Amino acid sequence: MKINKIKEMSSPDLEKELGELKSELFKLRFSLATNGLDNPMKIKEVKKDIARIKTVLTERKLAEESK
């Protein structure tokens, strides 16, 4: 997911997407442990998307507090 797309989303949508990505990461890790993955780099991509969303949410929170 691109950072521009993330910044366009509203905070509630980002929270929802964050939950979905966390559950996807859990499923990927579980699948890797049990039978392996076709693309193990998918875990890295999902983790980076989670970090991007958390960063944008934190930036918005700090901007709200500074007003």
- pLDDT of 12 > 90? The answer is yes
> Distance (Å, rounded) from C-alpha 11 to C-alpha 60?
8
Mean pLDDT of the chain: 94
HSE toward the beta carbon, residue 44, CA cutoff 13 A: 3
| Percent of the chain topping pLDDT 70 | 100
Q: Where are the beta strands (DSSP E) in 1-67?
A: none
- Looking at the structure, give the CATH architecture of the domain made up of residues 3-66: Orthogonal Bundle (1.10)
| Position 67 confidence tier, pLDDT thresholds 50, 70, 90 | confident
Span 13-31, pLDDT tens digits: 999 999 999 999 999 999 9
State the pTM of this model: 0.91
Domain ranges of the chain: 3-66
Q: Provide mean pLDDT across the span 42-52.
A: 97
Q: To which residue do tokens 């193990």 refer?
A: 40
> Distance (Å, rounded) from C-alpha 1 to C-alpha 24?
14
